[in-house]
Amino acid sequence: MSYLGKLEYYDPLYEILLNRVFPYVNNPIFHVIKMSRRVYKYTEEKTKTSIIGKFFQLNDPVYERIQRIKGEFDNLHKIRAYGFDTRPNYVARPITRDERIGLALVEEFIHGKDLDHYIKVAIYNGDSQALHAKLSQLASFLYTLHKKTEMPYNVNLDSINAYFCKILDKLYRQTLLSDMDKNEFFRLIHKWYNSGILNIGSVIAHGDATPTNFIFTDNGDVVAIDLERIKAGDIVYDVGMVCGELKHSFLWRANNFNISEGYIRHFLKSYTSHFYDPKEAFRSITLRTPFYMALTELRIARNDFLDWEYRKRLIYEASQCLKWGLKF
């Protein structure tokens, strides 16, 4: 994050914030912090109220990316309509947008700490209790989301296959995968498809269930942010992603993914405890979890800010995940 100063009066965004977000403030002053490449935080000086602005590149050559970023405003409204507009489980409130200046979304800023904070506390301070508690809250949030958005048809495996292939192609272009590696992954993935394990009903999945996309407030709420990628899918798309992210976090920061196993099991137990038959739900979900954990590990391995050998290790762990899951 970096402080960029005050939003200039002549900036077209100033007029948008003045008229649509802060019409009750006389001559507001906005302090700007860059959160990431296209996400900014604006804090109004007099009221101390903060909002988030997300932008897209007007001349972005990747049409799919533009549509995904622009779609978050509608996605937030869609999920809030399912009852996720009140505590304790909700998604950030969308406020406005203006595509003329590449403004995809203005949304409320959520005060709190994300799941990644509690993972780091567990790793560096040894506070496992806090992470266990937050994982239980997150499990409740995801179960509620999935239960409220159940759909009367099965998961579209063609869509999952296309995403898997897209990730493998990216890793191949980055020379992290050889031809033989890539073919082996295709072989394993097709064995999963042919097993019938993945033929299950659909829900609306968050689609990007990373540790930084869930905020825990001081009031005990769980708030989801970054809903660009919501999609119809298996409940384990989200559940497996959380498990894969936990494994990655402990492997990356502590060089030991075995420590994550207890937290992963706790999260899975917390999630399945909400079902009518928790034991059967745990059995069914853990059968599919290795597939989506492998997808998550490969997804993470694309990030070139990670060490090359570590990325190779993630790819190896993904292949082991797929092989291990097929044994059952």
Q: Are residues 241 and 132 in the same domain?
A: yes
State the CB neighbour count (10 A cutoff) for residue 153.
8
CB atoms within 10 A of CB 135: 24
Answer yes or no: are the C-beta atoms of 87 and 66 closer than 8 Å: no
Q: What is the pLDDT along the chain (328 residues), one digit of tens a residue?
A: 899 999 999 999 999 999 999 999 999 999 999 999 899 999 999 999 999 999 999 888 888 888 999 999 999 999 999 999 999 999 999 999 999 999 999 999 999 999 999 999 999 998 899 999 999 999 999 999 999 999 999 999 999 999 999 999 999 999 999 999 999 999 999 999 999 999 999 999 999 999 999 999 999 999 999 999 999 999 999 999 999 999 999 999 998 878 999 999 999 999 999 999 999 999 999 999 999 999 999 999 999 999 999 999 999 999 999 999 998 7
Mark whether 85 and 128 lie in a shared domain. no
- Residue 5: beta bridge partners? 32
Cα 312 → chain centroid? 22
Question: Are residues 58 and 6 part of one domain?
Answer: yes
Last residue of a domain, one of 89, 108, 127: 108
| The domain boundary residue, chosen from 108, 131, 146 | 108
CATH number at residue 293: 3.90.1200.10
Residues in CB range of 107: below 8 A, 6 or more apart: 51, 52, 54, 76, 92, 93, 94, 95, 225
**Where is the domain boundary, 61, 91, 108?**
108
Are 22 and 127 part of one and the same domain? no
Judgement on whether residues 135 and 245 belong to the same structural domain of the protein: yes
- What pLDDT was estimated at residue 32? 98
Same domain, 219 and 251: yes
pTM for the structure as a whole: 0.95
Domain CATH code at residue 102: 3.30.200
Q: Per-residue DSSP letters for 245-266?
A: HHHHHHHHHHS-GGGHHHHHHH
- Give yes or no: residues 20 and 143 share one domain: no
Residues 150 and 13 in one domain: no
Q: Are residues 224 and 85 part of one domain?
A: no
192 and 260 inside one domain: yes
Are 219 and 273 found together in one domain? yes
Identify the domain containing residue 303 by its residue range: 113-326
Query: How many domains are there within the chain?
Result: 2
Question: Are 100 and 179 in a shared domain?
Answer: no
